[in-house]
Amino acid sequence: MIPRYSRPQMTSIWEPANKFRIWFEIEAHAADKLAELGVIPTASAKLVWEKGNKPYTQDRIDRIDTVEAEVKHDVIAFLTELAEQVGDEARFVHQGMTSSDVLDTCFNVQLVQATDILIEDMDKLLAALKKRAYETKDIACMGRSHGIHAEPVTFGLKLATFYAEFKRNRNRLVVAREEIATCAISGAVGTFANIDPRVEEHVADKLGLAVEPVSTQVIPRDRHAAYFAALGVVASSIEHLATEIRHLQRTEVREVEEFFSKGQKGSSAMPHKRNPILTENLTGLARLVRSMAIPAMENVALWHERDISHSSVERNIGPDATVTLDFALMRLTNVVENLVVYPERMDEILNQMGGLVFSQRVLLTLTQYGVSREDSYRIVQRNAMKVWNREGDLLSLLKTDKDVTAKIPMETLEGLFDLGYHTKHVDTIFARVFTD
């Protein structure tokens, strides 16, 4: 997590001030319920709020760090500093609780906060994709399979495909948020032996979380595995779109191009260069986010009721995955919003292969006129191979092939090379994709 690929709104979630604030609220809300249940004095619970409810300034954070350096335990250090603020009544804080009650619940709150930002990011990306898709809906371009010219599509249809993919990703984030938004205040080994389950219900309600049905001192890590896996899928989709743009920006293609600003330089050695640096960067960032799904899955298998082998992993991947994905989504949105599209070049490429893109329609028409599919394929392919060898264009060659002209009327044959045939259902697809 470095400033180059970070945005303050997301990084602030993982800063000590926010973390300790959440820890305090967990402890203070728990004290309120304990007081209501008669476990601790009501005056003591109120005092926690009155004296402890202060911003976690750098001085307070430094004090916690100083204590932790001695006691080697972060939650104890936090409670020690809080006791210094509250006084003797702080002895009633953390009654019946264990460190994981604070750490796990806080981690889930932070993930929820982060996911809310990611969903906002996704909405902005979807809006950009929709806008550009409609702008380019009728701009025909080459569709490719295996990187080779196949049949015509439109550039807007390409973007509609990515819109649908990221719409699914938005749903994945919503589901991931719901699954991760749980609270555990169940005490050592999760039996509620020293704390009433109603305390957990109260804290969960105050923090906007659901109660974890069963926690073995820790919240089950399959939840976190699913969460980081969802982030990995989103990252893969970012790479998917970034890779498409990178391919289309190649000099030999140049159908689209990342916006190149005035004064921007593409190479320290070659002044002519305009490189797809943003989408290349996004490809790399996607690899980072995706790589964090594996350790999250390995965290599922903890020993017995708990161990802390997951802790060091999550202290890294929690901030890194969410911060990186947040940055990547916003960068991708910027790329889409400012993407330069070259319709003339798309048209030029469509006509580059001498009409080969219409080969399937000729094949199908031959079958409609009584020729077997095998013979139809053979007839069209032998003419197509001549086009590959630069011996003419497909329509001209077909017009001189007696096996073709004996079956298909000339006017019908010429009509088979109509670009509109391939784009006639684009509106239908758009209607299916853009239902909101």
Catalytic residue among 12, 73, 267, 309: 267
Answer for the pair 10, 117: CB distance below 8 angstroms, yes or no.
Answer: yes
State the pLDDT confidence band at 69, using cuts at 50, 70 and 90: very high
Q: For the chain, list the domains and their CATH numbers.
A: 3-92 (1.10.275.10), 99-347 (1.20.200.10), 356-416 (1.10.40.30)
pLDDT, mean of residues 176-201? 96
Q: What is the per-residue pLDDT for 260?
A: 80
What is the pTM (predicted TM-score) of this model? 0.94
The rounded distance, in Å, linking the Cα atoms of 110 and 101 is: 14
- Compute the radius of gyration of the chain from its Cα atoms: 30
Q: Is the pLDDT of residue 1 over 70?
A: no
Q: How far apart are CA 268 and CA 254, in angstroms?
A: 22
Mean pLDDT (whole number) for 17-34: 97
Q: How far apart are CA 15 and CA 170, in angstroms?
A: 26
For 376-399, the pLDDT digits (tens) are 999 999 999 999 999 999 999 999
Burial degree of 402 (CB within 10 A; 0-12, 13-18, 19+): exposed
Residues 319-369: tens digit of each pLDDT = 999 999 999 999 999 999 999 999 999 999 999 999 999 999 999 999 999
**247 counts as catalytic:** no
Q: What is the rounded CA–CA span in Å between residue 372 and residue 383? A: 17
Set 29, 73, 99, 146: catalytic member: 146
Q: Residues 399-406: contacts with CB within 8 Å, 24+ apart?
A: 403/371, 403/375, 403/379, 404/362, 404/366, 404/379
d(CA 88, CA 418): 86
How does pLDDT run across 278-311, given as a tens digit for each residue? Answer: 999 999 999 999 999 999 999 999 999 989 889 8
What pLDDT score was predicted for residue 2? Answer: 76
Mean pLDDT confidence for 157-178 = 98
Residue 264's pLDDT is 76
Catalytic status, residue 267: yes
How far apart CA 251 and CA 397 sit, in angstroms, is 31
- Calpha distance 19→296 (Å, rounded): 21
